[in-house]
């Protein structure tokens, strides 16, 4: 599966089975997406490959550890290697093909916008669950 940013300067390939997605409804992800939430997933490092060497990416980090990588040309949020060094964070909207993954988890539901209505069966977490619990939730339908 191929993914890319809006302008195509950042391109990547994913191999293997795709996990489900999560939507984060925290105030930072609302600002990042300009909407109700950010939709993404985590992939094992071995499943991810950059297709363009040295993509033109900038990174923004807050003092709390929140991180956002984006294409310097078009501003799209793009994948990044997570702090654990074992997984990539991948925004769902960059994927070029339709897939069967669903939103399996909603994070920081306590912080969601009042006008944000969650209308699916994804597990709702008031805050951030442990990474192990979240990974298990995202992988549940892929065994």
Please write down the long-range contacts of 60-64, taking CB distance under 8 Å and 24 or more positions apart: 62/28
Q: Tens digits of per-residue pLDDT, 6-22?
A: 999 999 999 999 999 99
Name beta bridge partners: 71.
57
Q: What is the pLDDT of residue 142?
A: 63
User: What does the mean pLDDT of the chain come to?
Assistant: 92
Quote the distance between the C-alpha of residue 99 and its chain's center. Answer: 15
Cβ-contact 94, 13 below 8 angstroms: no
Could you please state the CATH topology (level 3) that the domain comprising 2-142 is classified under: 2.170.150
**Span 36-50, average pLDDT:** 94
Model confidence, pTM:
0.90
State yes or no: pLDDT of 24 exceeds 70.
Answer: yes
Domains of the chain by residue range: 2-142
């Amino acid at each position: 599966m191929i993914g890319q940013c809006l302008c195509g300067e950042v391109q990547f390939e994913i191999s293997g089975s795709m996990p489900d997605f999560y939507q984060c409804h925290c105030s930072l992800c609302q600002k990042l997406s300009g909407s109700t939430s950010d939709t993404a997933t985590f992939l094992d490092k071995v499943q991810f490959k950059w297709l363009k060497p040295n993509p033109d990416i900038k990174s923004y980090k807050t003092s709390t550890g929140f991180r956002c990588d984006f294409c310097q040309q078009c501003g799209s949020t793009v994948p990044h290697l997570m702090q654990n060094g074992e997984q990539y964070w991948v925004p769902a909207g960059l994927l070029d093909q339709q897939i069967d993954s669903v939103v399996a988890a909603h994070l920081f539901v306590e912080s969601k916008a009042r006008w944000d209505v969650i209308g699916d069966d994804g597990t709702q977490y008031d805050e951030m669950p442990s990474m192990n619990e979240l990974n298990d939730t995202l992988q549940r339908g892929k065994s």
